[in-house]
Chains A and B, each alone.
Chain A
Amino acid sequence: MSHPCALLAWTLLTLLGLGVAQEDLISCGPIVPRREWGALASTCEQRLNLPVRYVVVAHTASSPCDTPASCVRQVRNVQSYHVQKLGWCDVSYNFLIGEDGLVYEGRGWNTQGAHSGPTWNAKSIGISFIGNYMERAPPQRALRAAQSLLACGVARGALRPDYEVKGHRDVRDTLSPGDQLYSIIQTWPHYQG
C-alpha cells in the first residue's frame, strides 16, 4: 500500500520541479520583468532573428540609481520619455542595467530595439547602463550583471557564442556609453571595435 503512494509522491514532486523551470529562468540570473517595474505595454512588432551577432552597449545619460526602488523609477522614466515624448513603441533598449546590480527587461531578446539605427537594430541586442558614464564608471555589480546577462543570452541561443560587443559610439554618432564605460567595455573579451 505504501509503494503506490511513494511513487505518486515522487511523480508529483518531479512535475512540481518541471513546472518551476520556466524557459525565461533557465540558466539566467535574475532579470526584473516588465510587469514588476510597471512597464507600459509594448506596441512593437518587429522581431529579431536569433541568434544575434552584436551587442551594443549604451548609457541612458540620465541620473543613476542604486536601489531597486529608485531604479524602477528610472526605468519607468526612460520608458515614459521614449514612448510618450518620442512616440516610440516601447523603451528603446532590449535590457537596462542599474547600479543596484539588477538587469531590467526592456524589449527583451525577441524584439528589435531602437538604439542604433534600423540596420544595426536588426542585427543587435542593445543594453544600456542607467546613468551618465562620461566622468564616472559604473560599479562592479552593474558590470557583473551585464556580463551575466550576456552569458545568459548565449545559453538561451539569443546571442551567437562568438558575439561581438560594440560601444554605442562605435555604431552611432553619439557620446554614449560615456568615456569611462567605453574604456571598460574595450577590455571585455567579446569587445571588437
Chain B
Amino acid sequence: MLFVSELQVAAEEKKTLKEGQTLSLDCVYTKKYSYSQKAWQRVTDGGKVETLAITNRTSRKSSQEPGGRYFLEDDSVSSAVRVRMTNVQVSDSGRYQCVIYLPHSDPEILSSVHLVVTKGSSATPVPGKTPTQNRAQIPTHPPTTTEAQNKFHTSPRIVTQGPPKSTAGVSPPGLGVNPTNMTYITRTFVFSIVVPVVCGLLSKSLVFTVLFVVTQRSSEP
C-alpha cells in the first residue's frame, strides 16, 4: 500500500476513516515559511484544485464560516499547520494537500493525503492476526538448527541427543511472543545473549568435529 502511494505522489500518505470521524493531521514546514499563508486544498482526479481553508494573513487561524467543517491552524512555534476536517463522509474520499501560498510562484506542497472514508462501522482488525504476522519476522534459527541436529544421526559418535529433544531446547517459548510487544531490552536480551550462546556451542562442536576427524585420520594405519 505504501509503495503504491509512493509511485503516485512523492509526499502522499494514506488515511482511512469511518463516516462521522474527524481527520486530524499536521503538516510540518520549515521556518522560512513562518509568515507565509498556508492552505488546505482538495485535488480532483482531473488535477483541479479547490481551496477549502486558508490561514489568515494576520491571525494565522483560518477564517471559517460558522458550521464549517475545515479547521486550519498555523502553529509557527512548532512550525506546523494543524488540519482538522470534522464529520467526514464517503463523498470526502479523495486527495488533499497542505500548501504554502507563495507570492510569485506555484504553491509549495507540504504534504498530501489520500483519504478513504468507509461507510458504517467496519470490522476492526483481529488482534490475533498481528502476532501471527510478526511471527514470520522472527529469524529462522530454531528450524535450521533442528535440521542440523538431524544430520547428527549420520555420525552417531559426535552427538548423542535425538532431534525431538533438541527441538524443545532450541525453540525457547520466548521466541513465540510478538516481537513488537517486546521491549527493546527483551529483544536485546534475546539477540545478544541467546544467539551468541547458541553460536558458541555450535562453534565448539565444529572445532571438536574437526579435531576428532583429524586425529582419526592420523591414527589410521
Residue interface mask B52-80, A partner, CB < 8 A = 1: 00000000000000000000000101111
**Interface membership of A184, Cβ < 8 A:** no
In the bound complex, CA of A173 to CA of B75 (Å): 13
Contacts of B191 on A, CB cut-off 8 Å? 22-24
Contacts of A162 on B, CB cut-off 8 Å? 10
Residue pair B31, A171 in contact (C-beta under 8 Å): yes
Residue interface mask B188-211, A partner, CB < 8 A = 1: 000110011011001101100110
Known: A13-B206, A16-B203, A172-B79. A7 touches B30 (CB 8 A): no
Main secondary structure of the interface of A (DSSP, over half): helix
Residue pair B195, A123 in contact (C-beta under 8 Å): no
Report the interface size class on chain B.
Answer: 35 or more
Among B85-93, B98-106, B147-155, the stretch in contact with A: B147-155
**Interface membership of B158, Cβ < 8 A:** yes
B202 interface neighbour in A12, A54, A166, Cβ under 8 Å: A12
Residue pair A16, B199 in contact (C-beta under 8 Å): yes
Main secondary structure of the interface of B (DSSP, over half): helix
Query: B10 to nearest A CB, angstroms?
Result: 6
Residue pair A9, B154 in contact (C-beta under 8 Å): no
Among A58-66, A112-120, A142-150, the stretch in contact with B: A112-120
Query: B180 to nearest A CB, angstroms?
Result: 9
Known: A18-B144, A170-B30, A193-B30. A8 touches B77 (CB 8 A): no
Known: A8-B151, A18-B144, A110-B184. A123 touches B202 (CB 8 A): no
Residues of B in contact with A (beta carbons under 8 Å apart) = 10-11, 26, 28, 30-32, 75, 77-80, 139, 141, 144-145, 147-148, 151-152, 154-155, 158, 184-185, 191-192, 195-196, 198-199, 202-203, 205-206, 209-210, 213
Provide 14 A-B residue pairs closer than 8 Å at the C-beta atoms, listed in order of the A residue: A4-B154, A8-B158, A9-B209, A12-B205, A15-B145, A15-B202, A16-B202, A19-B196, A19-B199, A22-B192, A117-B80, A123-B28, A173-B77, A193-B32
Residues of A in contact with B (beta carbons under 8 Å apart) = 2, 4-5, 7-9, 11-13, 15-16, 18-20, 22-24, 41-42, 53-54, 108, 110-111, 117-120, 122-123, 162, 166, 169-173, 193
